[in-house]
Amino acid sequence: MELENKLKKIKLIVFDLDGTLLNSNGAIGERSKRLIKKLEGQDVHFSFASGRLHSAITCFAEELNLKSPLISLDGCLIKSFPDNKLLYESNLKRNHVLKAIDFAENFLINVALCHGDAIYYTEYNSVIPRVTDKFGARYEKVHSYTDCTDNTLEILFAGENFNLIKYVQAKMCFPYMFGLTSASFRSQRHEGMYFLEIRRKGSSKKTGVSRLLKYFKVNINETAVCGDWYNDISLFQTRALKVAVANAVPEIKKYSDIILEKSNDEEGIGDFLEMVLKAKKENNARS
């Protein structure tokens, strides 16, 4: 009964994309599309909170005919759709970007600069488009990084020497630099390749959703978040209704209110949307 009460109050649903709303082919299930359309008729808003670039998620917003701000790069950028009005951005300081480029050149590590619309790389860093796991991103080759340092949302390092990656990570953190957050990890698709992402501190999917709540004038208790991966943990540390697909990592399932029996490839999100629609219809019938 408590879960049913939460479901009928839902006014905003925020999806992670890869591994959650999208299947392994990068597509949204037809059943989910139909249910989203029906729930919009019940005054439910929808949005994304993705690690992708903004330009790599607008196609899905267009497919669903959303009219909503979209959270990209794990909360570093929020733009409305379809009018692309900037609501929030967390740009890195120019001196931090320049220092990162220096580190990359000195230690022979590949580096690229991520903006909301594209990932910029130079001839020297031409391996970047081939090895990075930035789904749907547009890559643009530039002669130099001189004109790309401003409006940088993320610095991306890529290399085969994990010790060097960790060394640069340490040098770009306190006490050498302030106001940055970093994450180093192994590539999921390319064996022996490691990445380091540097962003400005203070942005996450959680803070992105907080900004959505103000935009829609919705309470966190009227919100549901859906995810599967480690970068969704901040979403799952809120008072929203937390929904994990069957393929979610254990850390996500630990925080979840609902663990779906189906994976993203089985369109598990469709089952959750069906639950919300059923609860709202039953509530309307009682009214």
pLDDT, one tens digit per residue, over 184-204 is 988 878 889 999 999 999 999
pLDDT digit string (tens) for 86-125?
999 999 999 999 999 999 999 999 999 999 999 999 999 9
* Tally of CA atoms within 13 A in the half-sphere of 127 that contains its CB: 15
pTM for the full predicted model: 0.92
User: Please, what are the domains in the chain?
Assistant: 2-88+203-286 (3.40.50.1000), 94-200 (3.30.1240.10)
Query: For residue 79, what are the β-bridge partners?
Result: 70, 86
In this structure, how many other beta carbons lie within 10 angstroms of the beta carbon of residue 34?
A: 12
Helix (H) or strand (E) holding 130: helix 128-131
Q: 57: helix, coil or strand?
A: coil
Q: Please give the single-letter amino acid code of residue 142.
A: V
Q: What is the largest CA-CA distance in the chain?
A: 68
DSSP string across 66-125: --EEEEEGGGTEEEEETT--EEEE-PPPHHHHHHHHHHHHHHT-EEEEE-SS-EEE-GGG
The closest of 89, 52, 88, 48 to 67, measured between CA atoms, is: 48
Angle, vertex CA 18, rays to CA 70 and CA 55, nearest 5? 40
DSSP state of 264: G
Average pLDDT score, the chain: 95
Q: How confident is the model at residue 287 (pLDDT cuts 50, 70, 90)?
A: low
Cα distances (Å, whole numbers) of residue 207 to 49, 184, 276: 10, 21, 24
Average pLDDT, stretch 215-236? 96
With a cut of 90, say whether residue 1 has pLDDT above it. Answer: no
Helix (H) or strand (E) holding 242: strand 241-244
Is the four-CA dihedral 125, 131, 132, 135 of positive or negative sign? positive
